[in-house]
Amino acid sequence: MEYAALVEVYDRLAETQSTHGKVAIVAETLAETSHEDLPMVLRLLRGELFAPWDPAELGVSSSLASRAVQRATGVAAEDVEAGWRETGDLGSAAARAVERQVQQTLVSETLTVEGVYEELRSLAGYEGAGSEDRRVDTVAGLLADADPDEATYVVRTALGHLRLGVGRGTVRDAIAAAFLGGDPDEPGETPGADVEAVEHALQVTNDPGLVAQTAADSGRAGLADLDLEVGRPVEVMLAEKTDSVEAAVADALEASDTGAAGGSEGDGGSGDTPPAPLAEYKVDGFRAQVHFEAGASEGNDGSAGGGDGGDGSGGGTGPQLFTRRLEDVTAQFPDVVDAMAGFDADSYIVEGEVVAHDPETGEPLPFQQLSRRIKRKHDVARLVESVPVVIYLFDLLYLDGESLLERSLLERVDALEGRLTERTREVERMPSLRSRDPDRVRAFYEEALAAGHEGLMVKTADATYQPGKRVGYTRKVKPTMESLDLVVTRAKWSEGRRSNNLGRLYLACRDGDTFREVGRLSTGFTDEQLAELTARLEPHILEQDGRDVDLEPTEVLEVGYEGVQRSPEYDSGYALRFPRFEGFRDDFDTAGADSLDRVESLYESQTDT
Ligand code: AMP
């Protein structure tokens, strides 16, 4: 296929604003493309050269591309740069330079789509000394054969700046339109059925080329047969947001397919009762999908499969790690790769969250620390030491050659637990609790927060795995509001085990020179923190009546909560929902506490949304 034909399509796409119009152009192009060229053409239509999970990078910067234009055309650097500045696009500058070409190429060949694709892909393989120059040469070689229009797109593709608005949805709809063209007489036919079939196939394969070829060959039936494959990341299932633990539990039960829950082994779910939801810590790291197939080149235990550079040549490797955005980060996490040897299976796709933690305290570290590890390609061993990680496994999508997507969450998690034979410092099951009792789930939530995690995920126990969807089978609960700095004005001596301590602290915000109460605090502190709070507050007791004490306002605490509501119970007129101790504010006195105005505006802001 001549590159000029693709360039014409690019031009039409650039002139067309509507998504509808773009779908029609892409569909027409696909229908005319040969079977074997479909994967390549689909990539090029989006300006891509590799699969999303392929770590290959072309290494073409603007200055490198500019040098290639100069080399190919003989146009002076200042002129290329001037064109670039004027148009704001190096592709257009390249086109101008080609028009003005001062250097006659001896023999000019017709550019083909394959030629451009392969040459540009080859850039990723250049390494070491002289590689920069070879890149310039290769791009210049293509430009030497290009007419101005072709030069525009060669440069934009090399730079990764094609931007023709061909998104994933456009590709999906175009594949459906080009190859399926649903039969309205078919029973069960719905207008979106073709698109849904393509969507499902894209979710499990993430491979538009394969999906297009399959749709062309064997229609919807063929697409339905496409399934997970080790080494090809699946789009992850997403979570919905919920306001409170109580709502999350209620929603999780409601989303349950009770009818199908007959087999919900044990734990409450029988007859018409939906099975108890599964609550898990929500830990803050990055979501990793780990793929493994034994007998493939490297074998299970030991060293990082895949290795640096020489990426996925297919056929399988040792455990491979992909991010939620489908990038391959295997090389950056040799510790996780090693630890996965404790997962006993011949092949699997598991999901987990990789979290960094402080080597001294074991406390989870903020995501920024972890992102240093994701980005680091060299000297990985040192970061493995200084930023140790754990992978908390929470789902199993594929096991010993079989997809588990259609199995219930409980079955998947049972299988996961059965195969995690060796838990180490680096690999763990995500802490979980099965319960339909909101109070127990709330206590578990408090525990997650106290351990420094983000909150909870509450999952419907009999739900299947729905790649790429936010379908209501998983919901997240986390404190959403910014914390408040509040003053302790009253308290009550605790009973029982903690009776030496003041518990139940009344919290107040500032209102001019006085303080107005906004709620009571009884959770979020450890025994040590409570003892310390008592020691700090006791000298400031003004009056005591039974177990109730009035305090001189001295102590400012940082308090998390899940919302603000109107309440006649407190003299501020507001009450915090589920306040939670987050720390002492030793850095300022009561004048620095948050004001009633701020509480009011927080109340207003949440009712807006
Ligand atoms: P969010 O990014 O806030 O929408 O929350 C969803 C993300 O939470 C997922 O993509 C995971 O990366 C992460 N996560 C943390 N803990 C869990 C868990 N137990 N189950 C599922 N996802 C989790």
Residue 506 lies inside a defined structural domain of this protein: yes
- 394 CB under 6 A from ligand 1? yes
User: What pLDDT shows up at residue 499?
Assistant: 80
The verdict on 465 and 331 lying in the same domain is yes
The verdict on 431 and 533 lying in the same domain is no
Residues in a beta bridge with 293: 347
User: What pLDDT shows up at residue 327?
Assistant: 87
User: What pLDDT shows up at residue 262?
Assistant: 39
Domain span at 512: 484-608
Mean of pLDDT values over 149-165: 94
Residue 164 lies inside a defined structural domain of this protein: no
Residue 191 lies inside a defined structural domain of this protein: no
- Ligand 1, atom nearest to 459 Cα: 20
Prediction pTM value: 0.70
The verdict on 420 and 308 lying in the same domain is yes
The verdict on 327 and 351 lying in the same domain is yes
Q: How many residues does the chain have?
A: 609
Is the pLDDT score of 392 beyond 90? yes
CATH number at residue 361: 3.30.470.30
The verdict on 492 and 577 lying in the same domain is yes
pLDDT band for 368, please (50, 70, 90 cuts).
confident
Share of the chain above pLDDT 70, in %: 91
In tens, the pLDDT along 524-544 reads 888 888 999 999 999 999 988
Residue 29 lies inside a defined structural domain of this protein: no
Per the structure, the count of domains in the chain is: 3
Give, as one character, the DSSP assignment of residue 274. Answer: P
CATH number at residue 587: 2.40.50.140
The verdict on 551 and 465 lying in the same domain is no
User: What pLDDT shows up at residue 571?
Assistant: 95
- Ligand 1, atom 18, lies closest to the CA of 282
Extract the tokens encoding 606. 């949440």
Is the pLDDT score of 300 beyond 50? no
The verdict on 396 and 461 lying in the same domain is yes
Mutate to test the pocket of ligand 1, among 234, 278, 287 (most ligand atoms within 8 A of CB): 287
User: What pLDDT shows up at residue 192?
Assistant: 84
Task: Indicate the helix (H) or strand (E) that contains 94.
Answer: helix 90-100
φ/ψ (deg, to 5) at 505: -100, 135
How far apart (Å, rounded) are the C-alpha atoms in residues 246 and 254?
A: 12
Min mean pLDDT across 240-249, 360-369, 403-412 is at 360-369
With CA atoms as reference, report the closest residue to 472 among 183, 228, 254, 296: 254
Residue 98 lies inside a defined structural domain of this protein: yes
How far apart (Å, rounded) are the C-alpha atoms in residues 267 and 281?
A: 20
Mean of pLDDT values over 39-52: 94
Domain end, chosen from 120, 144, 159, is at 159
Is the pLDDT score of 53 beyond 90? no
Domain end, chosen from 431, 446, 473, is at 473
Is the pLDDT score of 556 beyond 50? yes
User: How many whole angstroms from 287 Cα to the centroid of ligand 1?
Assistant: 7
For residues 480-502, one letter each, b for 16 or more C-beta atoms within 10 angstroms of the residue's C-beta and e for the rest, the string is ebebbbbbbbbbbbbeeeeeebb
Mean of pLDDT values over 341-351: 95
User: What pLDDT shows up at residue 302?
Assistant: 36
Min mean pLDDT across 183-192, 228-237, 438-447 is at 183-192
Residue indicated by tokens 């004027």? 86
Residue 202 lies inside a defined structural domain of this protein: no
Extract the tokens encoding 234. 């699946």
Mean of pLDDT values over 261-275: 56
Domain end, chosen from 159, 175, 196, is at 159
The verdict on 361 and 415 lying in the same domain is yes
User: What pLDDT shows up at residue 607?
Assistant: 52
The verdict on 405 and 306 lying in the same domain is yes
pLDDT band for 104, please (50, 70, 90 cuts).
low
Q: How would you classify the pairing of strands 580-584 and 514-521?
A: unpaired
The verdict on 345 and 490 lying in the same domain is no
Is the pLDDT score of 190 beyond 60? no
- Ligand 1, atom 11, lies closest to the CA of 287
CATH number at residue 71: 1.10.3260.10
Residue 193 lies inside a defined structural domain of this protein: no
Extract the tokens encoding 515. 């303080």
Residue indicated by tokens 């791009």? 139
